[in-house]
């Protein structure tokens, strides 16, 4: 019950400021049609209920299972299994990410279907999957995260020079939308669980950084997609 109360308070304090700003603008400057304003209020209520249920689900289900999977994989003693399952979990978590679908819908709409939303979703998911697998390999081999980050962003700057201009901002937004409410909790829990087995007491430092690495993947993937379309 305490967990439910804390979640409700968290959602209310997150949504209330934005709602108040819109309501103030409605009665002072904007003056939206009544039916649209009513739709906004209904939307706020539905979003609040949805977020409460979602966050409860994350705390009850996603985080524990992510840590359990992360801690179980290294015990199998096979590096390739850790990498492959990291790849698969990163892929499916990104496909289910709402933020990625919103971006794909907007890009498809603006480009008049030239860049398919489905293609963009799976491109972003593939980029995240590759770098989650690479992040799991880093945990196993104890590779400093700095090397991968510097190499990854260096490759981003290199590819950006050969990618059509319209794909560069899309690629950067792709890196941002993958840090959404579905992907982040699962990937973080996966990394902490794996690091707790592989690194022991240093899990608090080695278990993090997976989201930073995962964010590089979709940027590179969309840049490559831009080179192909270009």
Q: What is the pLDDT of residues 29-62, one digit of tens each?
A: 777 788 888 898 999 999 889 888 888 887 787 7
| CB 101, CB 121: distance < 8 Å | yes
User: Alpha-carbon distance 210 to 57, whole Å?
Assistant: 22
Token duo for residue 186: 């699962």
User: Alpha-carbon distance 163 to 170, whole Å?
Assistant: 11
pLDDT band at residue 209, thresholds of 50, 70 and 90?
A: confident
Backbone Cα Rg of the chain:
20
**What percent helix, strand, coil does the chain show, rounded to 5?**
85, 0, 15
Residue 158 has what pLDDT? 92
User: Alpha-carbon distance 145 to 164, whole Å?
Assistant: 30
User: Alpha-carbon distance 217 to 60, whole Å?
Assistant: 28
On the 0-12 / 13-18 / 19+ scale of CB atoms within 10 A, 56 is: middle
Listed residue (136, 143, 148, 147) closest to 78, CA to CA: 136
Token duo for residue 159: 């590819």
pTM flag (> 0.85): no
Work out the mean pLDDT of the chain and round it to a whole number: 83
Q: Reply yes or no on whether the pLDDT at 63 is more than 80.
A: no
User: Alpha-carbon distance 143 to 84, whole Å?
Assistant: 18
The distance of Cα 57 from the centroid of its chain, to the nearest Å, equals 17
User: Alpha-carbon distance 105 to 121, whole Å?
Assistant: 9
Residue 219 has what pLDDT? 92
| CB 151, CB 97: distance < 8 Å | no
Residue 207 three-state SS: coil
Listed residue (167, 65, 63) closest to 114, CA to CA: 167
What is the rounded average pLDDT of the residues 91-99?
A: 86
Query: What are the CA-CA distances from residue 12 to residues 5, 41, 51 (Å)?
Result: 11, 14, 10
Token duo for residue 228: 């192909």
Q: For the chain, what percent of residues have pLDDT higher than 70?
A: 94
């Amino acid at each position: 019950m305490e967990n439910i109360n804390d979640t409700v308070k968290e959602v209310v304090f997150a949504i209330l400021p934005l709602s108040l700003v819109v309501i103030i603008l409605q009665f002072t400057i904007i003056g939206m049609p009544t039916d649209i304003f009513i739709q906004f209020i209904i939307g706020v209520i539905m979003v609040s209920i949805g977020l409460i249920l979602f966050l409860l689900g994350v705390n009850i289900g996603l985080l524990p299972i992510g840590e359990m999977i992360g801690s179980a994989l290294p015990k199998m003693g096979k590096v390739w299994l850790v990498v492959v399952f990291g790849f698969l979990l990163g892929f499916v978590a990104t496909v289910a990410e709402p933020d990625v679908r919103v971006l794909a819908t907007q890009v498809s709409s603006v480009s008049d279907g030239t860049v398919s939303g489905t293609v963009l979703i799976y491109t972003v998911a593939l980029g995240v999957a590759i770098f989650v697998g690479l992040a799991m390999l880093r945990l196993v081999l104890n590779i400093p995260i700095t090397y991968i980050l510097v190499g990854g962003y260096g490759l981003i700057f290199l590819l950006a020079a050969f990618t059509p201009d319209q794909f560069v901002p899309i690629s950067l937004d792709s890196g941002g939308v993958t840090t959404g409410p579905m992907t982040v909790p699962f990937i973080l829990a996966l990394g902490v669980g794996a690091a707790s087995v592989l690194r022991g007491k240093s899990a608090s430092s080695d278990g993090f950084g997976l989201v930073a690495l995962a964010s590089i993947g979709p940027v590179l993937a969309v840049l490559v997609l831009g080179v192909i379309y270009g």
